[in-house]
Each structure stands twice: as structure tokens, then as C-alpha cells.
Structure 1
């Protein structure tokens, strides 16, 4: 049997066997991960001493008391007649050779020690090899550990193989152990070359050795799964490198038993090559996983350190990634890519919501938001990110409509929408109808309405119909407008478009006020204001308040809720950078804000946190 890179381990085993031939006993636990070569080292010992007693743990028998001990001692049981009566009786019950109450573990252990010391006739030394100890029943392992700790001058060698990545109850404590690690790169490359018939590119062999951590099982499995072209270096390897079917099944089975959120976190960590812990945490939020979800994997020692989540071994990362479905991998990569882009351009969480839901820039707008979003447009243009560039402009046009800047909104939307060919930005047509009509450009409003009519007919949804009716109301005459507004409210009330419905009531209330129907107008506007304030749609809420003030009377300013003392995402980003020593100018450059806006946010942070300086901020703000 040829073992690559195990000269030191084999020498240690040879020394133990030689001591046993001289009458001195020894025991040793070989610890290591799955596939690292423990079984092969035990096989080496078996090949050196014919007649060695050898068993391996069987997972399905782990709940049967003394099952493993019985299998090990079968060849020695004929010699039990020479045991003391108490030991013999306990051992016979343990091995199912006699009836009786559960035997005393101490007596069973002593009987085992005595039998091994007696040995088989003509067998010297007596060698016992016990593999996969993690699957032995507890009673057998305790008895064998008892024996191992008491061997002295019987000429017995007891070698254990224990998987280090499983649960270790510590039953072998006090027995000398040796950690079996992966092969060194030269030995790993030599093994890889030995098991394939195709020449292996030396640089590729070194890379595979690093990727597998020198795990022999992974190397031999992988050698059979790669194509000759890949082995010659003519084709790229996948990343991460596959671990081979046997190890993959081992680790995949462990991962599959975890809760979904734990598996999601592990997959994100596996896909986050070269990424940061912050990006991992942010991507986890997108997919509904947080660092605490990784606790089971940390407890099993598959990963270390949170939130960075470093895999204990490259093979674990490969197995996690390989065990995920294509859709799961794609979702993980999308989430991570989004966070890397967000970090690269200084995007805050609030801004990211804008690109997912463009109306939020108007709903959540505050000092500096328009400025920061506008600054990001130049970044998107430079990076040729057309989709983000377009949706960001759409969001700013909605804000223009909310602030009654109708000409600016019309100009932006006309650049986005190809009138006469409603396609990608058909969702912007209702805003274009409103903006064009309010700035006196009725022809553009009519063209946009015609396109919206076509698009709504294709879409055939209650929301599309509601938006169409709202837009028709804007262009309708006094005798028809109210009917369209009421139809719009009816359709939009049956869906999830909270903002669309609130805006329909706002437009209806504005129309009613101009018709001098003050009571009806107040009813619609008050309802719209409550809806806007409920979701913090401040820009539209302020527009609604102006309409209510025009009706006479006072308009109450909402009292902030207790939880609104929490930092907004933008405030939190500014606070973290300030805490870490950033000047206002540096923070402004990082977040695409002005220094005055940074100062504004810092003052709000100080007030909310009850501090007065950056020094106090460092003591008060924690991630």
C-alpha cells in the first residue's frame, strides 16, 4: 500500500508496534476530518501486523449498548472462561451471551482489558483497530477508552480513528492523540498525478491541492471527475472546486439538516469570495438571514467567526455551494452583487429602496435625499448602469410631482417614455399625464393617456385600470371627471397600491376644492393625508396639507411615534463614518452628499442619541 506524504504518521505507528513486540502497550487516537486518511493509516497498521482485530463504527448500531465491543471481541470470546466470575458474567450479558440486568460498565471494561491482555494464541503483538469512533455506541467507546488508559505491559496496541468534525463527547480524553491534517502541497500533487492516467499541469495540481486542503479523498474523487482537458490546464476549473461525490454527500447531509435560514447564510458565505463581512450581512438581510442563523454551523465547527463566517476547511465551502440549487446560487450572487455595488457607489439602504420602489424617494424624502440621489446619477452613467440610471430619474420625477414641480417632472418623464410606443417605462405614464397637464402641456398629456390606455388593456389588472381611470379624470370635463375619480378609487382600493390610492384621493380632493365643494374636498384630502402620514410619504403629505390649509382651518402636524427616535439608514451611515473618524468632507464624498447635509444629519444623530460630540458618539454608537 502506497501512502503519499504520511511518512511521519507511518513512522509513529511503526514505533508503537515495535514497542508492543517488546512487551510494552500503547494507544493512540488518530483525529482528523472526513477523508483525510485515518482509515488508510489504520489499514497500514493492519497490513503490518496480520491478524489484527479491526472494526468500524456503524451509525445504525450507535444506539445498541456494547454492539461495537461485541464485534471487536468475537475472536477472543472463547477465552472468556479464564476470566474472573464477575467479569465473565458482566461480559456475557453485555455481548448477549447470557440473560441478566444491565451489566456493570466497570466490570465489562475490566473483562475487555483482561481478554486483550490474554490475546489470541500465537498473536504478538495484539493490535486492535477501531475506526469511525464517532459512530460507536457510548458504552463500547467508554469501555475501550477505559482499556486504553490502563494499558501498560501487555503487548497490546489500541488505535482509534475519530472524525474531528463530528460531535466529540470527550470519552477518549486522556488517551494520546495525533491530529491528521491534509497532505502538504507536493504530496497532494503527487497523489493527484498518481491516480489519473492523464498528465497533470503542475500549476493546476498545486491549485487543486490548495483548494482541497490536501484532503486525499477529495483529491482522488476530484481526479476522477475532472476532464483530461481540465487536468492539462486547458480548461478552467469551477469555483469553488467540487469536493467529490463522497465528501459532498457527507457535508451536504449535515447542511441539509439545518434550518433554511442557516443554509441561506452558509450559501452566502460560500459565494462571498473576496467580499466583506458588511456585504455578507447586508445580502443576508435581502434574503432573510442574519448572523445568528449560522449558530448551528458554528456549533458543529463548520464555520468560525461571525459575521465573517470563515469556513473551517475549503471542502466545507465547496460542499455548501455544490449542494445548493441553481436558483439558490443565483439569488445569493444577486444579493451579494447588489451589496457590492451599493458599497462601491456609497448607496444607503434608503436609496436602495428607491430603486426597488421609485415612489419612495417622494415618500421618504428629507433634507439631502434629492441631492444624494441626483449625485448617484452621474455614477450610474459612468458605470453604464442604464436601468438604475433610468429608475432613479423616474423616482426624482415622482418627487417633482409631489413638490408641484410639474415642468421638471414632465421633461424628465418625456426623456424616459417613448410616446407612441409604450414599453419599459409604461409605469411612468400616469405621472406624465399629471405633470404635463399641470404645466399646461395638454397635447403631451393626451398622448401619454393614449399610451396608458393601450398598456392598461394589455396588462388587464385592477391597478392598471385604476391608474387609467385616475389619469382620465385629469383630462375629463367637469361632468365626467368625478365618475372617473370614483372608479379609480374603487379599483385601487381592491389592491395593494396604498400610494396609488392615496394619490387618487389627493387628486380627487384637489378637483373637488376647485369645484367649491369644500366639505367633500376636505373628506378626500383628510383621508389622503392620513394615508400618506401612515407610510411617511412626507412630500405628498405636505402637498395635501397645503390643499387643506387652502380650505381654511388648521392642519395638525403629526406627533412622531416613539420608535421614530431610531436613526434612519442615512443617519446611521453618517454616524458610523463620523464615529470612525471621518470628517464632514470625507463623509460627504463617501455618501455623495454635501458637507452641509452631513452636518444636518449629524445634528439629528446627536439629538436622537443624546450626545454632543464625536467623542461621545464613539461611546454611544455600536453596530
Structure 2
């Protein structure tokens, strides 16, 4: 029969793909960072192309990692394999990144590193290495790489900039971890080239019809063309394969490998099974385990002679599918035996997790000791920032646990780990499984809590509040502290859901929370919960003292980073509820600093959006645009949907109708789908600001009414009331204006801050006349002048000037309108500036229309980088904050320097003072 020679070294065809990969290498040599996903079915030649690429990467440093199916549950196993040759360069990284990487690899103890901090550490490490020469990283079998490693490498791939680094992933189907990375899809060889490969592999003649059938059934798959004929008899080759066309090709290839393995002696098959179960390829470990199984070195010869495996210094297989076939073709008893031998041979001190995993696979029934080992491995995985691995260990521990209560605890912990990892579907699957178990009341309540947290975390939608409220009520008699924390989460979930909440409204949550027992010495969490609940149940006046006490306690407390992260967001709500914008901003800035320090990037976008709101409201448009750019960067890195709250508000205050209106409509449409009622309230509020600025008071009134009535318990609804009063008085809807003022005054009087009282005074002036109106306008200007809200101060001057003109006091009106126009022009608030200009024209004053400051000519990222550089941050520090390498930051700065006409940082301060685009004054 025809026989196969060794697989040819030269690739058959693939000219187009090789040309693409050659161009990829050339771009890296030129100093560009590039990433690529090479995808295609098993056997299409991905590994061969990666090998070809490595051979052509002359002058490069080449690092490689291959995903191992049996290592998928070991957090950062693949990343450790890739980075282990770079251990000396780790010392050059910033200390937080060093710690994150060493903790992830189990080489140091510390808090669990955020997965994005690990990714940033890898980016910095690769950038450091690429300073010497271009770097090429090849990650084969991405679909079998542990998820923590895949996430880190996907993070790096999306952040490559001006560093000569290339990352190529080989995978059957692109995974979520590499979303956004350019893909090169492989198909089977064309018929001509498939015939050529088959002919090169066969030494004897082959019937033309059989050859065509083989090519057709393999669909030009190179590995299938090479491997399948190996096990075919002369009769089978004469008659074609005859395989069912519906069989998956990779399965048919594995079947071919399995038949080749069946031809080997028994000891050799067991040795190959042993090697397939330990993907590290550690020859010493495998031979030690082989000795326990009574296998001698002689057993390796048949496997090596047939070319199936290499038993050298590192044990490897001819193809990953061969490793899989070797493991799957063994009996269950053989697999347990090899895992038992590997567990006994693995050092419990240096590699306890791998030992625990092998031991778990060796059991044939419940094993409490093995489950306890897995539980400890889960704790270590969590400490390394590998929640996916922790979940896998805990699920396996549950399977080995006899006691139903402990089994349920393991499953609940696994669901929690999946929640932390963002694997919401798997977390829900585990909850469904655990609910079928006999649960204690506490376990059942924890399950409710988890389900609510999953619903809230997966979209801030409207199904989380009732679940969290139910969990909080069940926890009250079981764990009061956890119940309070759950009520706070329920309150926040209800705030986001607003009127779209399906049960569990703010009123429901607040009423239930007010029924909790009061501690003699309440901590910050209890104070904040009591304050927020009182606002909704008892009203602003009754809640005001408690709100102020809660805010003061949070502001003055020496909180740990963990406490800042746990209670910070709720403290913001308390500050906003009392119109205490100064402390609101302080709390946001403190939390953002902690988030950056600990690398909790998942929470950063929402904090940046909130801080951007108060910063925009202060008229610091360049600063807020930089914050929104940073939030977008974080969302791009984390894969979270980018919020458009801030950019929408910014466009509305600037009076940019063309940009603002689509954003408003998008916010409302998205909110209706996701159930985030707060977004609708916010969108209508800023729409009212936009239309009041444009002088289209009817549209402003419609938007303001919608905002004030939608989710009326929300603080944002109160923000829309000054807009409603202004629009209503301009359209003659005095009754609506008076009702809005009464609601506003109830809240602002209770808060007692200059922000709230200033907005109240300005609104009250619109509904007054004569000296009373003037006194209110002057009070508004005085109070708002003591705040940071320059746009609101400018609007007070504008409304006062409009009132003075209508009272025929033109000289006084010009003075107020000039102040307003100058402020709006300086801030870049085009619509309000134009409104002030028209009023000035009506007084007889001539004002040029082109006086308004235009938007920056710099990109948002350039603005952000320059602001950070002007604060004294180094390129490395800026890069760590923005997920860029230091070299990429340097590249952006050079672009900015060119636009500013300078050549170095020394000239930056002077240039910034001359250019108002980059820094707010």
C-alpha cells in the first residue's frame, strides 16, 4: 500500500497568508506594535505558519506559549510559560506591576491582583524587552489557554502602540479574550495544492478518483491529508475513505491518531497517556511517575520511532490533537492511574495546585481530603487574581464532597468566583444546580444575593433590585451586617433602574431598610444606609441631619482602600442628596485614586463618569473630556460597554446640538432595552439644559418635565427642576414652575449648601418681580460665585441681565450680560453665549459672534496625556494609568509637541499657558 514519508518541511502554497505574515514582521521591524489572530479548523496549518514565521523573524526575540487542555484551569499557567524566560527583566517594572505579576505566578504573597494590572505588567515587561530588539510572541492553541492568561494577552494585544512587539494567536475560533484583534482566517488548500501535498506524502501510486475523493472529504485540510492515510489499508485507499460526511474533521483526525496509538505496545500506550496527562512536558516528573507505574525507558522507543512523540529533555507530541487522542483513547482506569502517579510525583510544596488537580482526577468517588486540597487551591487562585481557576477548583471540590452542606458551600463559592470573573452565565448555571440541593436558610439567602448581584453586575438593569431586596430581607435574622450591605446594593440597583425597576423600587428598599435595628455605635455603612433610606421615606428635611452626619463620617474617616471601595459609591449618593458638591467631588477623587492604586479597573468607568459630571458642571470641559477619554480607554480594555453620560452632558453644555441629540436618543433607547431608568432621567435633564441654552423653551420644558417625573425619587430628577422652572416661566406655564420650585426648595433648603440655595434663589427670582426678584438674583450670584459651578453662575448673570433689560435698565443689563457672555465664551458654551450675545444686541451693544472658544484641536487622549505630563508624571506612570507603554506615551507627546511648536517637556508649561485647549483655567 502507499506509505507516508515524514511531513514535508516546506509549506505547500499559503503564499497569501505568508505574505501577510511577512508584512506583519516588517511593520514590527519598523517600530509598530501589531497583533493578529490566525484562526482555522484543526489541522489547517496554523502551527506550521507560526513555525514559518518564527524562522523568518531574524533579529527578533521570539517567545512562545501553547495552550494545554489539561492546564486550562490553572490560572496564569500559559502566561508563566511565556514570561518565564524574562524573569530578570521583571525587576525593571514599577513596584505595583512587579507585585501583580509575581503574585499571579505564585512567587509572592499579596492581595489578589486585578487582571488588568497583570495585563499592564505584561505589557510593560514586553515593552522593556523590546527595547533591545523587536519581540515576537506566538500563542498557539489559544482555545486551550487558561482564561486568565488569555485575558492578559488579549489586553496586551489591544494596547500595542509604538513598541516593536508582535503577538500572533493561533486558534480554531477567536475567543472573547481577543475580541477586536485583527483576524486572518485559514481555509483548506485549493485542490491543486491539496493534490500536491498528498502526492508528496505518498510514495506509491493512487487512483485518481480516490485521490479526488480524499481531497474533497478532507476539504484540503493539510493535517488530514497527511495523517488519515497512515491507518488506511490498501483496500480502503483503493475505495476512498468512506467516512460519513457529517463527522467533524478533527474527530476523524483524532480517530486516525488513535488507530496509530493502538498499534503501539501496551507499556508505550500507557506512557503516552501519562505524558498527555501532564502538559508541562517535565521529563523528570513524567519519568518519576512512570517508575511508580512500572514503566521503563524502553517503552518510549516505539513512540519515538513512529514519530508520535519525542521523549527528550522536554516531552512533546507531534500535534496537539495527538495529545488529546492519547488521553481520550485510554481507559478510565488508566487515566486515574496516571493521575495518581503524577499526584504522588508532584511536589506538594512547590506545586500544590497541580498536585491537587491530579489527585482529584485520580479519584473514583467522593474524597473529602482531595476536596479540601482543591479548596485550598481555590484560595491560592483567588489570591493570584484567577477567579476562573478558583471556580474550577471549587466545582471539582463540590463533586468530591459527600456532605451536602459543604457541597452547597463549594458551589456557592464557585458561583461567586464566576461572578468576579465576569462569567455570568456559568454563575447562573451553578446557582440553578445548587438550588436543587437541600439548603440551609443562610445558603438559600446567599443564593438569592448572588443571583441579584449577577443581575445587577451584568447590566445595571431592572431585574436586580427585587432579587437583592429579597436577599436582604432573608439575611436580616441570619447576618445583620451582610443584610445592611445587601440593602445598600439593592438601593443602588434601584437607583439605576429607576422607574423601570420590576419591583424593588427605591421606596420599597428604603422602607424595608428603615425597619432595621439601630446600633449603639453605627459604622459608616449603617449611617449611609440610614441616611439614604430616610431621604426616600421621610423626605429631605428629616433626612438632612443624617445625610450630613453620614457624609462627614465618610469624609473624615481614615478608611482602608477596601472600605473606600465598599462604601465610597454610597457616600457619593449621600453627598449628592444634600447638594454637597464639594464633598461629592472629594469622595469621587479619593475613590478614583484608590481604584488606580489597587488596579480595580472594572469600577473606574462609573466613577470617572460621575467625576466627569461634576467636573463638566464646573465648566472644566478639557478636564472632563480627558476623564471621559480615560473611561472609554478603560472600557475598551475591560470589554465593558462605554457609558455616554458624560459626553452627552458635555455636548449639551457646549450647545453642540448636532452631537448632543443623537447621544440623547441613544441613551434613552439603550436604557429602555437594558432597564436603566436613571439613564432616561439623565438624558432628559441634559436635553433640557441644551434646549434652554438654545432658547427653545417648549422643547426644554418637555424634557425637564420628563426628567423630573421619571424616577422622581432620584437626585437627578431634582437637578432638572431649575431647568423646568426656567422653561416654564418662558412659556407661560407658571403653575408648573411653582410646583417645581416647591419641590426644589424642599431639597435645597434641607441641604443648606451654596449650590442648592443658589439654584433655588435663581429659580425663585424667575417667579418673582420688582425688588424681590432682584434680591433673589443677587443672592443667586453671590451663592453660586462661592461654588465651582461656573456655568450655573454664568446663567445667573444671564437671567439677571435678561430681567434687567426687560425692566428697561439697559446699562445695568449690559454689565450682567457682558459678564455672562465672557464666561460662556471662555468656557466654550456656544448656545448660552449666543443667547447672551442676542440680549446684548438688544441693549444696543455690538458683540462679535466669533468670540466663543472652539473645541480643542487635540485628540482626547492627547489632551489626557499632556495633562498628566504637566502634573509631573513620567511616561511610565502615564502609561500605567492609560494602559499604554512608555514608548507609546512618548510617541503621543511628540505629536502634541509638534502641534504646539515645542520640542521638549521643559517648554510644556509655557506652551500650555499660551494654549487654552489643553488646560482649564
**Higher fraction of helix:** 2
Name which one, 1 or 2, has greater alpha-carbon Rg.
1
Q: Tell me if TM exceeds 0.5.
A: no
Q: TM-score, normalised by structure 2?
A: 0.29
Q: TM-score, normalised by structure 1?
A: 0.42
